[in-house]
Chain A
Amino acid sequence: MTFQFASETGFIIAMITFIGLIVQRKSLSFVLESTVKVIIGYIILQFGANLAVHQLTEVTLLLERMFSLKGIMPNNEMIVGISQWFYGKLIGSIMVVGMVLHLFIARFTKWKYIFLTGHHILYMASLLAGIMAGVNIPFVFQVLFGSIVLALTMSFFPAICQPMMDRIMPEHKVAIGHFGSVGYFLSGWLSGRIFGRKHASETDRHKIPSLNILTNPNMVIAMFMLLFFLIVALIAGTQEFSNSIGNENVFIYAVTYSFQFTAAVYIIIVGVRMLLSEVLTSFQGIADKFVPNAIPALDSPMIFPTNPTAVVIGFSFSLIGGLVGMFVLIYLKMNVVLPAVIAHFLSGGAAGVFGFYSGGFRGAALGSFVHGLFITFLPILLLPVMFQLGYTQTTFSESDFGIVGLIVYYVMEGVSWLLWRIV
């Protein structure tokens, strides 16, 4: 693997950070420190991706050898890390141009949202780059189309959730900026349709459930992976399992791989944080001056304190939906999508809150269950769309990535088909 960072996301974002901080007249030492941090963050991200691929291959190979199943493991961090090897330059360009266009949308239209969930901007840019790279048009147009779509998604998805958000946090002017919006909308809409809003005033009589373990993603991923390996061993028989991994001890193997897997994802997250922290702070600073009456669109856990019980219901039923979906896929002998536990918490939890405010606790359960099914079946459709990346057996875990990916892919297919006819 090579680090050609001069032309890639890290370098582009480092330059933007540098210019942004100079314009804000920060001290020279702060500017240098932040710029170096961005580049190192990017390199960390790449190292993490390198490790992650190794772990991922191990999981999917295991499924294939033991049960002849093709496994897909949706994980945003992994797919984004891997995308950097192929389209670093395209991702960085789409991201930066897209953020600028997004500011113009907020300034000049009625969609006043400023999307501040930086890692999701990076993830969406990676998805769009992955699709645009497969379209046979010049680089400039790939960036142009990609960034227009990115800017639109950053404004559109907060907008569709806003009527429900106004019910969830009526005393604040705030939007949800998280690319699980289609899932939340679906959850809220279904739950409102079926149960009606009269239950939405059910008070949270129970003691606030402790979210302690759930708030540690490392713990959640490690335990989930460990459980996964042990269940595989149980179904296949430990002797079988042990043979297929070269006569290693099954338990030691399971512990080693689940912890290495968790570490790889964590490394990518640390990289992403170092890469984006300063850029997003400057972005918000600019938006503050450039867009009057801007509405911040924030990450999904922002709404968790409004009803923690709904979050726990949302996580549980979304995960159940994911498991049911997985068994259906096994039964149909299709590609098997393993549940993305972190997405079931961050998005499923929010889907639970949306469901609750439309139809009470039963609505929260139903809405998030459907959400869980939804984010299990979408990756199957999305996988073939991701040019060159399909073989890696990982993809985006949240709903909007699937929806946007499919729409953009088929529209671009149509456009290039038309171009070939005309030219």
Chain B
Amino acid sequence: MGGIDIAVVCHQGLGSSLWLKIQVEKIIAKYEIPAYVFQVDMDGLTGRNPDIAVGVNYLGDRLEKMSQTVIVVSNVLDDELEEKLLDNSVIKGIRERADK
């Protein structure tokens, strides 16, 4: 469908990542960004190589190596997530193409 893959990551890929998934899905719906969002744990991320990986900062720097671009939020509740998503290079690219 030409969308991008966004991985939402947490400790076990069960709890906090679900809330991240809900938030990310809301944002991509709001800005009509074609994307597929999936929940995953750190080990499950190996080999998946999503376009963007979103996680909370307590996961440490391990997240950095796992994906093309990484978004680390310090808090799952702030508007930080929306700003950082829109600021992401992959998202910017896809929105520019859509505008043309």
How many of chain A's residues have a CB under 8 angstroms from any CB in B?
A: 37
Decide if B60 is an interface residue (CB 8 Å cutoff): yes
> Shortest distance in angstroms between B71's beta carbon and chain A's nearest beta carbon?
15
Asked if A299 and B25 sit within 8 Å, CB to CB, the answer is no
A319 interfacial by beta-carbon distance below 8 Å: no
CB atoms of B74 and A218 under 8 A apart: no
Are A116 and B18 touching (Cβ within 8 A)? yes
What's the minimum C-beta distance from B54 to chain A, rounded to whole angstroms?
Answer: 14
User: CA separation between A117 and B10, bound complex, in Å?
Assistant: 13
Whether a CB of chain B sits under 8 angstroms from the CB of A302 is yes
Contact of A216 with B75 in the complex, beta carbons under 8 Å: no
By secondary structure, the A interface counts as helix
B57–A305 CB distance below 8 A: yes
Contact of B19 with A116 in the complex, beta carbons under 8 Å:
yes
User: Are A281 and B18 within 8 A (Cβ)?
Assistant: yes
Q: Are B25 and A281 in contact (CB under 8 A)?
A: yes
Query: What residues on A are CB-neighbors of B43 within 8 Å?
Result: 216, 218, 266
Whether A311 contacts B58 in the complex (CB less than 8 A), given A284-B22, A296-B19, A300-B15, comes out as yes
Q: Tell me the bound Cα distance from A46 to B75 in angstroms.
A: 35
A-B contact number at CB 8 A = 94
Q: What CA separation (Å) do A172 and B67 show in the bound complex?
A: 30
In the complex, what residues of A have CB within 8 A of residue B58's CB? Answer: 211, 215, 301, 304-305, 308, 311
Binds B, one of A145-153, A270-278, A379-387, A411-419: A270-278
Residues from chain B with Cβ under 8 Å of A2 in the complex: none
Chain A hits for B75, CB < 8 A: 172, 305
1/0 per residue, CB under 8 A from A, across B10-26: the answer is 11111110110110010
Verify B14–A272 contact, CB threshold 8 A: yes
Contact B14 A217, beta carbon cutoff 8 Å: no
Residues 93-123 of A, flagged 1 when their CB comes within 8 A of B and 0 if not, give 0000000000000000000000011111000
In-complex Cβ contact of A301 among B22, B56, B62 (8 A): B56
Expressed in whole angstroms, the Cα–Cα distance for A172 and B77 within the complex equals 7
Q: How far is the CA of A174 from the CA of B76 in the complex (A)?
A: 11
A219 and chain B: residue at smallest CB distance: B43
- Complex CA gap A191/B47 in Å reads 44
Once the chains bind, are A305 and B25 in contact (CB under 8 Å)? no
Say yes or no: B21 contacts A281, CB within 8 Å: yes
Q: Are A298 and B15 in contact (CB under 8 A)?
A: yes
Q: Cβ of A302 and Cβ of B76 under 8 Å apart?
A: yes
Within 8 A of B (CB), among A208-267: 210-212, 215-218, 266
Check if B41 is an interface residue, CB within 8 A of chain A.
yes
* Set A120, A299, A308: member contacting B19, Cβ < 8 A: A299
For the complex, is A346 an interface residue (Cβ under 8 Å from B)? Answer: yes
Residues of A within 8 A of B22 (CB): 116, 281, 284
Assembled-state Cα–Cα distance A300/B58 (Å): 12
Q: A216-B42, A277-B21 are in contact. Are A119 and B60 (CB under 8 A)?
A: no
A304–B58 alpha-carbon span in the complex (Å)? 7
Indicate if the CB atoms of A119 and B15 lie closer than 8 Å.
yes
**Do A118 and B18 have beta carbons less than 8 Å apart?**
yes
- Which of B15, B21, B59 contacts A215, CB < 8 Å? B59
A sample of 28 inter-chain contacts (CB < 8 A) reads: A116-B18, A116-B19, A119-B12, A174-B77, A210-B60, A212-B62, A215-B11, A215-B60, A216-B42, A216-B43, A218-B43, A269-B12, A276-B14, A280-B18, A281-B21, A281-B22, A296-B19, A298-B76, A299-B10, A299-B15, A299-B19, A301-B10, A301-B58, A304-B58, A305-B58, A305-B75, A308-B58, A311-B58
Closest 10 CB pairs of A and B: A299-B15, A212-B60, A304-B58, A172-B77, A119-B14, A117-B15, A299-B16, A301-B16, A284-B22, A215-B59
With A117-B15, A298-B15 given, can you name 15 additional A-B contacts, CB distance below 8 Å? A116-B18, A116-B19, A118-B14, A210-B60, A215-B59, A216-B42, A218-B43, A298-B16, A298-B19, A299-B19, A300-B15, A301-B56, A302-B56, A304-B58, A346-B11
Interface residues of A (CB under 8 A from B): 116-120, 169, 172, 174, 178, 210-212, 215-218, 266, 269-270, 272-273, 276-277, 280-281, 284, 296, 298-302, 304-305, 308, 311, 346
Binding site for A on B (CB under 8 A): 10-16, 18-19, 21-22, 25, 38-44, 56-62, 74-77
